[in-house]
A and B are shown apart, each in its own frame.
Chain A
Amino acid sequence: MSRRAALLLALPPALFLAVFFAFPVLSIVALGVAPDGVPDPGALVRTWTSSSTLRVVAWTIGLALAATTLTLLAGLPAAWVFARFRFPGKRLLRALLTVPFVLPSVVVGAAFLALLGPRSPLNALLTAIAGPDAPQVRLDGTTIAILLASVFYNVAVVLRLVGGFWAHLDPRAEEAARVLGASPWRAFREVTWPLLRPAVLSAVSIVLLFTLTSFGIVLVLGGPGQATLEVEIWRRTALLLDLPAAAALSILQVGGVFLLLLASARAQERLAVAQRLRPAAETERAPRTRRERFVVGTVLAGLIALVGLPLLILVERSFAVGAGYGLTAWTTLGSLPQRAGLFVPPAEAIGNSLLFAFATLLVAGSLGLSAALAIGSRRGWLPQTFDALLMLPVGTSAVTVGFGFLVALGEPPLDLRTSILLIPLAHALVALPFVIRATAPVIRSIDPRLREAAAVLGASPGRAWREVDAPIVARAALVGAGFAFAISLGEFGATLFIARPATPTLPVAIYRLLGLPGPLPFAQAMALATILLVLTAISVLAIERLRGSGPSPF
């Protein structure tokens, strides 16, 4: 593709990013840095060097590193099992493991509280065995709870990015090393690991990005005093209106995230090893020995426990009303709640969520395809930087973007501040990088020789593109659009700022119900969470089906 065509394709997503991300964020940051129109660099430096900032930054980074390490420890064996072995229900299991990734933090927080809090199944068991004075296990409010939830969220990233790539590595290289006398560990370390490194690095950078900016989970599961940078930005902006400090922290966050993304893109390019990839179906096999079956079984059981238990407990709690079980929470979803915050029956949130998700699919799908064509067809620092820039909204605090909308988008003709359109636009902002990640590698992987062969056979360049590229690109774009859909379903932070009570999304309705007293609203929230779970699982399964076994990591 010519440079000019690539630039032309990059234009719509670039404009979108400029108007709905860069402009609002720069506006709110400018308001903080220069409240009277004159920038005050001294105040910035004071905030950056204050002991409370340093403490928050150190805690944020420490937490992110610990969570990323744990996620890798849980994810790498899973990636290996999914890459190398065939077992029944593999596709379904991979889809289910991806569901947590798009669940809103309110839901995950509620699930982990139910699982680790005072009335957890474990504690019920302890009481049943040893009576009412049995020792109780409480993990809520601890760092362990935050870390467990982070692994729950992000294990799918490692599974998909590393496992997806691993499945295409030729196992014969490792087998050759084994024949020559290398131990399994040495064969892995010296043959497979160097080839795998770029994929691991890519997964690490994404998991780091999410753990560095996790907000809801830290707020719900972490005790006080465990504020991360993201929580502190929210507190300074939304509660204290201390814009100078919020701006200083936002600059720190966005700058740090951008450097991380750039460094990771560079390192991936540097470490990439040219190799012939093989179809995943040819590299997987059924576990052969008893030991293999045991290892595969253990890894899968661990994964199912880690991801399945929190999801199951959500479903269970939706039926627990009063002393026993019942359908009350489900049968009342269609009627108006008795009070507060929710002005429509909870069931209406389902339709709203689906509608916004379709709108996001259209916006993020088309912009993402356009960006992916531009990024996927060119090499060098320019597409790399563009890619990192498009990823920035994921690493920026929702409150910074939300309050930025407030100060930036108020001028006619663009008074969007209270418009319902902001919801799909904000969702598209977050979904765009995932659409690109699902699409660009596929575009990059199209063998140019296919196009050349078509040309030799007499096809015009247009026809060659239509017949060779278009079907592959279209399928990749659909996969990307599917991710946009799933991400929109679960998006919570930005929606909370702009959702209207008459049009709540599922996560917003769940959040409102969780704030109401009494057991019924809680069970209703869990019922809505179950519906969200099912909708997400269906869309992820549809993506799996569309994706087939191409090299797309997501």
Chain B
Amino acid sequence: MNHRPAALLALALAGTTLAIALPAGAATPAFTAERITLMTHDSFALSPEVLAGFTAATGVEVEILTAGDTGSMVNQAILAGDDPLADVIYGIDTTFLSRALDAGILEPYLSPALDAVPEALRLDPEGRATPIDYGDVCLNLDLEVFADGGLPRPETLDDLLRPELRDTLVVQDPSTSSPGLSFLLATIARYGEEGWRDYWAGLRANGVLVAADWSDAYFTHFSGGVNPGDRPIVVSYASSPVAEVIYADPRPATPPTAVMEDGCFRQVELAGVLRGTDAPAEARAFIDFLLSPEVQADIPLNMFVTPARTDIALPADYLAFTAVPAAPLTLDPARIGADRERWIEEWIETVLR
């Protein structure tokens, strides 16, 4: 009899933590699964103590399964079919959403925490995919080159065609790189089906360099910060300047790079419950957890993207050095799904052949 009060106390405590970790209004169902598996992409990161909050609150452990980049992850989830590799998936983005939805690998779930998420981010009205965060793929500039007396600083996509900026831009191959594809989509969103090929023909004539992936473009060809390249304009992320500050040793007072606010492409990152999971309740609880204030506040400095909830205070470093473009470009996921491969083939014809 002696242990009972202690057990009750523990239960009550567990209840409180749960109430903290999960957004108010979420029911607290009894969880039976010991462990769930989260399928995600290579860039997934959260502070370990924040991630441990889910286990503390629910008693359910989380095993992480990274499955390559976003496209590779979605394709693996589709191939696994009715017998999913994981219970919940995080990191599907605007570009690959329609493929995941068409393949029917996600179960609908409308999290109560979605109330705090703007309508514009909710790409699937049925709730098969829940927006968790968003980021912008933007051109980054090497400020040293574009300082006073240097090259004229580009402000718009059109500026990249100016002869003074010949041989200054490095982009990624959209057929192999996700930011590369985002930038291609930005130009399609801007110039339309009739004009984007001409724009790229112009970039080609002006000496655009195409790298295989983001690392190659940024670490090898870009000249900003400590990077060794000779190209002062690179396709990267709106948050890359933050990383240039907080990962430098010693830390500079201001970033050596800046974002060009025109021509950014917005990627929403979404999570979903995988169809065929043995632990649907736990998977839904994990989606609530991803939208909880603790995780949302932990996202910016771990993954360098902006949390989906609007009621989260962003870290000072993130606020200071990240430009969240006011009018980013975007395209309808269904249209991307339908035309992506044709666009890539046409891009190869225009730029590489």
Contacts and interface: CB of A to CB of B under 8 A. Distances in A.
B16 interface: no
A512 B64 CA distance: 15
Nearest to A523: B249
Interface stretch (B2-10, B38-46, B104-112): B38-46
Interface residues of B, number: 58
Contacts of A496: 68
A158 to B, nearest CB: 29
A521 B79 contact: no
Given A239-B71, A518-B243, A343 B80 contact: no
Interface in A472-514: 496-497, 499-502, 512, 514
Contacts of B352: 224-225
A519 B173 contact: no
A521 B216 CA distance: 14
A418 B240 CA distance: 33
Interface of B is mostly: mixed
A140 interface: yes
A321 B226 CA distance: 10
A341 B72 CA distance: 15
B80 A417 contact: yes
A407 interface: yes
B144 to A, nearest CB: 13
Interface in B14-36: none
A219 B44 CA distance: 23
B301 A339 contact: yes
A518 B247 contact: yes
Contacts of A85: none
A119 B228 CA distance: 6
B249 A340 contact: no
Interface in A28-50: 31
B76 A406 contact: yes
B306 to A, nearest CB: 16
A417 B76 CA distance: 11
A519 B64 contact: no
Interface in A511-545: 512, 514-522
Nearest to B178: A239
Given A339-B302, A340-B43, A520-B249, A117 B228 contact: yes
A176 interface: no
B205 interface: no
A532 B99 CA distance: 39
Interface in A191-239: 219-220, 222-225, 235, 237-239
Nearest to A410: B83
Interface of A is mostly: loop
Contacts of A31: 79
Nearest to B37: A418
A341 B247 contact: no
Chain A contact-residue range equals 35 or more
A423 to B, nearest CB: 14
B219 interface: yes
Nearest to A323: B226
Contact of B65 (A328, A407, A418): A418
Contacts of B43: 340-341, 515
A185 to B, nearest CB: 44
B78 interface: yes
Nearest to B82: A410
A241 B99 contact: yes
Contact of B48 (A219, A343, A403, A500): A343
Contacts of A512: 42
A502 B38 CA distance: 13
A517 B217 CA distance: 12
Given A322-B249, A340-B303, A500-B64, 19 more contacts: A118-B220, A118-B221, A140-B220, A220-B216, A223-B210, A224-B210, A225-B353, A239-B72, A241-B75, A241-B79, A322-B226, A339-B301, A340-B44, A340-B45, A403-B75, A418-B37, A516-B247, A517-B244, A520-B247
28 contacts: A31-B79, A117-B228, A118-B228, A220-B212, A220-B216, A222-B212, A224-B175, A224-B176, A235-B176, A238-B68, A238-B71, A238-B72, A239-B175, A239-B176, A321-B249, A328-B249, A338-B246, A339-B304, A341-B44, A341-B45, A341-B66, A403-B76, A415-B83, A418-B86, A500-B63, A501-B66, A518-B244, A519-B248
Interface of B: 37, 42-45, 48, 63-68, 71-72, 75-76, 78-80, 83, 85-86, 99, 173, 175-176, 209-216, 218-221, 226, 228-230, 240, 243-244, 246-250, 301-304, 341, 348, 352-353
7 pairs of A and B residues whose beta carbons are closest in the complex = A518-B247, A119-B228, A517-B243, A225-B352, A340-B45, A224-B173, A238-B72
